[in-house]
Structure 1
């Protein structure tokens, strides 16, 4: 008689974590190392995202623990917030009308492209609409599901949108821009290179950001684990409670790898295989939208009196992910605080108005679809 022994729960848990997170995380780190060694812009993030994306696309599991995902976003948000001086805060307020206009531009282009995308993708118009909106992956999937949209399709297309922009835009700006990458470590008011934040100050800042982020996330704030640390650190830095400083470089590398891992893990094989027509139709439309907003950004930079670089405005107007585009600005030495401001305004606007706007659009003849019904 053969006796089968049931594995101990601790052994099963360790095996699960090894397959689900530890092994693909190692792959992400190796990818980041290679990409960074090649001198590519945003190497740690892109290398981790590409390596993890390939891992997930061939059907292997990859998922980071929620606390780690949130920690990565928190570090990125806090690092940008530390750049905010009173001068930068005043500058952000001056750009507010353009920020709102850029948010409206992204939404308008998504609306115009919705009927075309729905026709060629085979998706209903509600799903096509929520796929193209420049909002967060999780937020758009959750809001769209409430309007009978296909959650899996929305998540897949948003992952592809962010992946395309994050892969193509930094490389293009790196080739076109002759600026250095050390601007982020310099205090704009004094020109002095900022030092690393002390360990005590770092511990207090991280704990405070985590507490306030947990509260704002519970209250339903979009992108709470990125925006809240940015606001908290920015407020402390702008009020000069914290000295001119930045987070340790090693911590920022770890945050980039975490953000890249989370991005790559969204390219799940089952989802990609289930939506080939939507993906083939969506990629050129997303690229055209990205090109259109980039052209507008360059025109605005040309006629703006602030002297802000076209590269900064292209990153601000872009329809990539908030954390990814902010990190790109940081890595290329552009105004990351301004880029984060553009994306924050767009995220808040899209998340707040996506549902009510679709309720009104769906009454128009060109958006009516028997497969798409509004919730009663």
Structure 2
């Protein structure tokens, strides 16, 4: 019986193995420093920054393909395991604000895509994934499998997360909200049986989705299957934090290594383009939040935090910190997250297909590796 394709393409040369190991060590060091400093999404952003700097300095950093596949499955399973029956019930209790949120997502994406493609000159694939409001790790995986320039995507998504986490508390104060509350502590799986069942569901579903060549299949498949069994109450508890930490570090290392050969002038353009895109997306979110707040008679800060294009985990934790109903915020971000996870792979397959290299319309540096 022949080996699976991903096992036949392994590079076990001592030099490559040494650089794979060095990349992971560097990524964990960077992630650890950022997490210790309390930076937003510290393990992911720290690993990304550390490996991106190394790549820009010419180091041949990288993450082996099979390692990426395993990490995608772990990330998908971890995020799916955070869903509970109470979370799913909460989605049905806010129909007005949910409806306005659903309406805001396509408007936000179309406006941002139009700016990035028509004004900033990005290729359509990269603009599409950079415009997705939230679900950073999922979007990065699907962007890579669809041939987008992941440098642009990660820069746009990461800048948005940094700015929102840094400025939203002050913005909420400007809207009259007084911070309060504590951070949540969600229970992990209660026993080894639940742990192995949860992980097994994610592995099997992720590999099946990958086998079907579904964009982002390893992560999307494992996330949806894990979310179904946890949301139905068949398995309780999330995976231990260690799995998310390892997953975020490896994902950050893989994404940071994509900056090899990128010139500083290119990064400057990415920053300006991404910042303007963030301002546009936030403006759309604010407009719809005003509408949702008025229709549902809910406080504007509460609705705005549920609508901003941030990450599910970061915005939910911020809700606790600011003393805003975390169930409300989590349910809205979860609804958008699941919608993006379901629809973006389908839209990407329909419009872009599957590609192993960035789109031919992406402006690449001449020194950039093409593999």
- Common fold: TM-score over 0.5: yes
Matching residue of 1:148:
none
1:255 equivalent to 2:247? Answer yes
Query: What pairs with 1:248-327 in structure 2 (closer than 5 Å)?
Result: 248-266=240-258, 268-272=259-263, 275=266, 278-279=269-270, 282-296=273-287, 298-299=289-290, 302-303=293-294, 305=296, 310=301, 314=305, 317-318=308-309, 325-327=311-313
User: What are the residue-to-residue correspondences of 1:207-218 with 2, within 5 Å?
Assistant: 207-218=200-211
Matched, 1:157 2:152: yes
Bigger CA radius of gyration: 1
Offset at 1:88?
2.0
CA distance in 2, matches of 1:298, 1:129: 24
CA distance in 1, matches of 2:155, 2:119: 15
- Once the 2 structures are TM-superposed, how far is the Cα of residue 272 of structure 1 from its aligned partner? 4.1
Q: Note the 1:138-287 alignment, pairs <5 A.
A: 139-140=142-143, 154-173=149-168, 178=179, 182-183=183-184, 185=186, 194-243=187-236, 245-266=237-258, 268-272=259-263, 275=266, 278-279=269-270, 282-287=273-278
Question: Alpha carbons of 1:57 and 1:298: their partners in 2 closer, same or farther (altered >3 Å)?
Answer: farther
2:18 corresponds in structure 1 to: 18
Structure 2, unaligned runs of 5 or more = 1-10, 134-138, 173-177, 321-325, 353-360, 363-371
Structure 1 Cα separation of the partners of residues 14 and 331 of structure 2:
40
SS at match of 1:160: helix
Tell me which moved more, 206-215 or 284-293.
284-293
Q: How does 1:44-193 map to 2 (within 5 A)?
A: 44-92=43-91, 97-98=99-100, 100-114=102-116, 116-118=118-120, 121=121, 130=128, 133-134=131-132, 136-137=139-140, 139-140=142-143, 154-173=149-168, 178=179, 182-183=183-184, 185=186
RMSD across aligned positions (CA): 3.9
CA distance 1:210–1:56, change in 2 (3 Å): same
Distance 1:269 1:169 in 2: 27
Q: How many residues align?
A: 323
TM-score, length of structure 1 as denominator length: 0.69
Counterpart secondary structure, 2:254: helix
- For 1:306 and 1:62, the matched residues in 2 are separated by 52
Q: Is the 8 A contact 2:30 2:46 kept in 1?
A: yes
Measure, in 2, the Cα distance between the counterparts of 1:247 and 1:137: 22
Q: What's the offset of the Cα at 1:109?
A: 0.9
CA contact (8 A) 2:206 2:218 kept: yes
Contact 1:29-1:48 at 8 Å conserved across structures: yes
- State the distance in 1 between where 2:85 and 2:214 align: 25
Label 1:104 to 1:341 Cα distance change in 2 as closer, same or farther (>3 A). same
Checking the alignment, whether the CA contact within 8 Å between 2:112 and 2:281 is kept in structure 1 is: no
Please give the secondary structure, in 2, of the residue aligned with 1:183.
Answer: coil
